[in-house]
Chains A and B, each alone.
Chain A
Amino acid sequence: MTGEPAWPLHPPPKEIETLRQYVQSLARLYGVTFESFCYHALKIAHADEEARSFTQPTEDVLERLAVGLGIPIDELRGFEARRRRNVARLYAELEAWIATPEGRQRYEWAFPPKS
């Protein structure tokens, strides 16, 4: 499901956000609590803490997010895998940077080796 986002505010997710963190950032943006956003926008009952963990979001929740944010539902299904890929890529980039003389110097300045 793609197309124009139905919701007025629809920032793209950050690279290493979990789905829960992403929804938390949406709640902050709209100026309501996380629980309230989940309840009103995603129809997650107040008592349903499991659903609010977003570890295994239901198709209904994913559908609402997809329509509201204009993000394909498959992208939302693969949110955690995408996050892991991005974390791995960022680590690889960091290690490559630390391997350069400038990077090594800056890294050791920030994290001095214990003598």
Chain B
Amino acid sequence: MNDLLATIAVILGTALAVLSAVGLVRMPDVYIRLQVASKASSLGIALLMLGVAAHFDDVSVTIRALLVVAFLFLTAPVAAHVLGRAAYITGCPLTAGSKPDDLAGRYDRATGRLAAPDGAQRGDREAEAG
């Protein structure tokens, strides 16, 4: 039973890792690549670690595998956010047809400051005035 679970987890996790690598090459845009690389590979590693835990069937190994998964799930979104922000600030272009660009016109490249547009939110404007 454990062997079957480990085998299935290894196969699925490997497939997800390969898919995320393929997506990294195929996708047209830094931001889309970022999302492919962070989400699919996180789930792939989680499945591989599930396979490790099922194969060894030992408390200490299971805790270490869970530690890897927990750490990855904590850090992957943070890394993706920081990298996406850096990509926008360094001026990586969005792919053609990528519709909602909420930061368009609000980021001042010369000063490196983000500003709210006119009439967006009262709180923001008051904070800026005061």
Report if A and B associate in a common complex: no
Q: B residues engaging A (CB < 8 A)? A: none
**A interface residues with partner B (beta carbon < 8 Å):** none
